[in-house]
Amino acid sequence: MTSGPAAPRPQHPYPRPVQRMVPRSRDEPHRAATPLELFFDLCFVVAVAQAGRELAHDLAEGHLHVALVGYLFAFFAIWWAWMNFTWFASAYDCDDVPYRITTLVQITGVLILAAGVPRMFADQDLTLAVTGYVVMRLAMVTQWLRAAAGEEGAARTVALRYAAGITLVQAGWVLVLLVPADVRPYVVPLGILAELAVPVVAELATRTSWHPHHIAERYGLFTLIVLGETVAAATVAVQSAVDEHEALGELIPIAVGGILLCFSAWWIYFARPVEDILTSSRQAFLWGYGHYLVFGAAAAIGAGLEVAVEQAVGKAHISAAAATAAVTVPGAVYLFTVWLLHARHGKSGAAQVVLPVAAVAVLACTFLGGSGVLAAGLVAAATVAVGVALHAREG
Residue 185 included in any domain: yes
Asked, for residue 23, whether it belongs to a domain, the answer is no
Question: Of 318, 328, 320, 319, which Cα lies nearest the Cα of 62?
Answer: 318
Q: Residue 214 and residue 196: Cα distance in Å, rounded?
A: 22
Residues 317 and 347 in one domain: yes
pLDDT at 244 (0 to 100)? 60
pLDDT of 2 reads 40
CATH code where residue 375 lies: 1.20.1410
Give the domain-ending residue among 182, 202, 222.
Answer: 202
Domain presence at residue 157: yes
Question: What pTM did the predictor assign?
Answer: 0.89
- Provide the pLDDT for residue 323: 92
Residues of the chain with pLDDT under 70: 1-19, 240-242, 244-247, 348-349, 395
- Quick one: 218 and 135 in the same domain? no
Contact 387/354 with Cβ under 8 angstroms? yes
Alpha helices in 270-319 (DSSP H): 281-312
- Measured between alpha carbons, how far is 97 from 36 in angstroms, rounded to an integer? 12
**pLDDT of 146:** 93
Q: Are residues 249 and 364 in the same domain?
A: yes
Domain count, the chain: 2
Query: Which residue in 321, 334, 330 sits closest to 383, CA to CA?
Result: 334
At which of 202, 233, 267 does a domain end?
202
The reported pLDDT for the residue numbered 395 is 58
Assess contact for 166 and 139: CB atoms under 8 A. no
Amino acid, single-letter form, for residue 105: V
Indicate if 193 and 239 belong to the same structural domain.
Answer: no
Q: Which of 202, 229, 257 is the last residue of a domain?
A: 202
Both 218 and 117 in one domain: the answer is no
| pLDDT value of residue 26 | 81
Same domain, 85 and 134: yes
Same domain, yes or no: 225 and 156: no
- Domain carrying residue 144: 35-202
Residues 223, 131 share a domain? no
- CA-to-CA distance for 315 and 64, rounded, in angstroms? 16
Are 301 and 163 part of one and the same domain? no
| Domain assignment present for 7 | no
Same domain, 77 and 106: yes
